[in-house]
Amino acid sequence: MEKKNLFDKKIFIFDLDGVIYLGNQIVPGALEVINKLEELRKKIYYLTNNSTRTREDYVKKLEKMGIKSKIENIITSAYAAALYLRNKEIKKKKKANVFVIGETGIVSELEKMGFKTYTDFKEELKINYVVVGLDSNFDYKKLSGGLYYISKGAEFIATNADPTLPTEKYALPGAGTMVSALETATNKKPSVIIGKPNPYTIDSILKREKVRSQDAVMVGDRISTDILAGKNANTTTVFVKTGAGNKEASKSQSENIFPDLILNSVKDLLQLLKEKKADTTMRIAKPSKFYFFLENFAKYTAFERMEMINLFKQILKEQELVLKNYKQEFSQIWKNWGDEYGGAEVANFFENNCVDLMLKWLAVIFPFRKEDFKINIKKGGTNVDVVMDISYFFTEKELNFIEFLIKEFAIEEITAQVALIRTLAETILIFCQIWNEISGYDFTMMPEEEKTNKNGKGIAFNMLFTLRPSF
């Protein structure tokens, strides 16, 4: 996916609840960000999974907060569901009947599209679709109606599956609660969940504006809906820690969904939009797994960091395709070379064959550059030992990125340099363990973390590897 400076993006799509406002309180800085985007003549859309309100309601709510918007720039899951059904039924002369478990937002949008809606359970009704959204008056009768109509052949459609609805005080049950209840009763899942993380709504916006996904930004506070929807639509994704954000952040690692940029609040976008020359691409382009590892690494005490190292090793091992391809390539090289040589010949083998291979796959996982490595391999103190001394040079730009992360979390007990060095050392060790497995040589690693050398442009560090036959 093409990543450009945020200044150059054409469309910004914002989730509402938890991003622009919390309940009836605007998130500080949100108005200034919207005004800045309008000044830059960017297209702005608001995309919410909340189906209880009409789009007109959202226009009025935003206006009370000082944000001017047009109805066509607000996409609710209720509107998207009505649009989806209209497109599905477009060739049919008679509009379908819809049983709604939801509020005025869904009913209004469906009726505008010509559908006949029902909210009371009556056995004699012929229902084609059961559409479920957030319903603050959800009760046993509505659940029974949904169960009955679906058992009679009606299609089960969900506007969204959000488990909670954030407010300025506390979280409330979301539409996912009602959807799950009907799933349990019917033993069926919805045929489609219209809202995020389904990219349907974002794709509709891009199609309408005739804009490539690479030119769009999705901003949200939920990993498994907002961010995943942006990922599914191939847009740049920005995760904010307001609303559900603080609780959602941990899901990124467990669900393997990583945003391109993480901010404390939507307010932080303002600084990134002030100047065209501002280097926001540096923050976006770095791999997100790298970001999350460093964030967690920085939070732990020195005693607990070994647990983080174990977690990091697991992250690397989950890169199955990378490690599988690396292992296959190394196996072939070793097979071609043969195992009849030892001592200095082994040193030559690793210097001439393994180093480039390791750097090649290292770059797939992390943004380390081959040209910034200096590797010296030589015979050790015995005929069979081989010593590999690896130096890596961190540029000022790279260090600034990590220092930005550390500063972001207000952490003082760990430096960016140590975090980088440990990350790189553990990555290389994973590759060396594959060498052990295939070659029969045993690697030990002694990263000299304390012996860093500043030279004005960055920091260099050394790792010493000793290998000897394990047989």
Tell me the pLDDT tens digit for each residue of 141-186. 999 999 999 999 999 999 998 888 777 778 889 999 999 999 999 9
Residue 13 has pLDDT above 70, yes or no: yes
> What letter would DSSP give residue 124?
T
Residue 281, pLDDT above cutoff 80:
no
Topology match between the domains 6-49+197-285 and 79-193: yes
Are 342 and 469 a contacting pair, CB within 8 Å? yes
The domain segmentation of the chain, as residue ranges, is 6-49+197-285, 79-193, 298-469
pLDDT at 152: 96
* Calpha distance 200→204 (Å, rounded): 6
Mean per-residue pLDDT for 279-291?
38
The pLDDT value recorded for residue 313 is 55
How large is the average pLDDT for residues 315-331? 69
CATH classification code of 79-193: 3.40.50.1000
Residue 103 is predicted with a pLDDT of 94
Alpha carbon distance 59, 70 (integer Å): 7
Both structure tokens of 69:
């918007």
Per-residue pLDDT of 358-400, as tens digits, reads: 767 666 655 555 566 666 665 555 444 556 666 666 555 555 5
Cα–Cα distance measured from residue 30 to residue 469, given in angstroms and rounded to the nearest whole number? 62
- Per the model's pLDDT, the better-predicted residue between 368 and 230 turns out to be 230
Kindly report the average pLDDT of the chain as a whole number. 76
| Main-chain dihedrals φ then ψ at residue 18, nearest 5 degrees | 90, -10
Ranking 60-69, 282-291, 301-310, 311-320 by mean pLDDT, the lowest is 282-291
Q: What is the DSSP letter of 340?
A: S
What's the mean pLDDT in 269-287? 52
Please give the Cα distance from 279 to 130 (Å, whole number). Answer: 49
Question: Which one is predicted more confidently, 460 or 207?
Answer: 207
Angstrom distances, CA of residue 68 to CA of 60, 74, 218: 9, 11, 19
Pairing of strands 458-469, 441-454: antiparallel
Which pLDDT tens digit goes with each residue over 332-358? 777 776 654 544 466 666 666 666 777
At residue 433, the 3 state secondary structure works out as: helix
Residue 143: the pLDDT is: 97
- Residue 397 backbone phi and psi in degrees, to 5: -65, -40
Integer Cα distance of 416 and 454 in angstroms: 14
Which of helix, strand or coil describes residue 144? helix
Could you give the percent of the chain with pLDDT greater than 90?
Answer: 42
> What tokens does 331 get?
């196996």
Q: Which positions ≥6 away from 146 have C-beta within 8 Å?
A: 99, 101, 130, 132, 156, 182, 185, 186
For 256, the token pair is 């393997």
Helices within 97-173 (DSSP H only): 104-112, 140-151
Residue 273: the pLDDT is 82
Give the pLDDT of residue 66: 95
What tens digit of pLDDT does each residue of 35-48 get?
999 999 999 999 99
Homologous superfamily (CATH) of 6-49+197-285 is: HAD superfamily/HAD-like (3.40.50.1000)
pTM above 0.75, yes or no: no
Distance CA 386, CA 381 (A): 8
CA-to-CA distance for 47 and 80, rounded, in angstroms? 10
User: How far is Cα of residue 331 from the mean position of the Cα atoms in its chain?
Assistant: 34
Q: Three-state SS string across 293-332, please?
A: HHHHHHHCCCCCHHHHHHHHHHHHHCCHHHHHHHHHHHHH
